[in-house]
Amino acid sequence: MEGQLQHLFIDFEFTMPEKNKKNPDFYPEIIEAGIVVVQNGKIIEQFSSFVTPIKFSKLTDRCKSFLNITQKQVDHGIAFQQLVQKLTEYQQLGQTTVVTWGNMDMKVLRINCDKAKLKFPFTTKEIDLSMEYKRFFGDQNQTGLWKAVQEYGKEGTGKHHRALDDALTTYNIFRLVEKDKRYLEKPEPTTIGDRVDFSKFLNKFA
């Protein structure tokens, strides 16, 4: 398994401060994790769990309303330490690339590890797919995850702001972008002759 090339598609949902209430000590904490493990272009595992916040254990009304997550769900979630352990185990499955939509997931994971005095679980390449998407399509602004998938004429998987659904949607966009990249990397534009083998075509009429 060590030699496997794999991608981890990760999405986290975080705590949010109450609107218009300043708390200088506040920092976002992961309260839901969605992970899709892909090896050789195939999903080999999916993981989804709520995570209990450590510092600010009581969710704000804004957070509950925006994410549609209840206090009970996070109270019964796994400990943050267990999430870090899970991520560490995933990395050990093979040569890993971590893919997220935006840079907040890894930023918040780093902050949470630092605050909990835990070692950051990844020593691997990290891809912010939203920036790749922006560069690839020449967009002026970074596009939201579900807007991006709709621009492809597709729909997101499940519900937006559900961690596993967002991780799966990120994986789907990654596949579409990679496919388009391969198409554009062809040295010459495709001609009708590239698509149809005329000798075989004409043989039918010989």
Question: Which are the catalytic amino acids?
Answer: 13, 161
CA distances from 200 to 8, 189, 191 (A): 43, 22, 17
CA distances from 157 to 60, 89, 167, 170 (A): 27, 26, 9, 9
Beta strand residue intervals within 41-124, DSSP E: 42-52, 78-79, 95-100
- Looking up tokens 């519900």, which residue turns up? 159
Crossing angle between the packed helical segments 80-91 and 104-115, to the nearest 10 degrees? 120
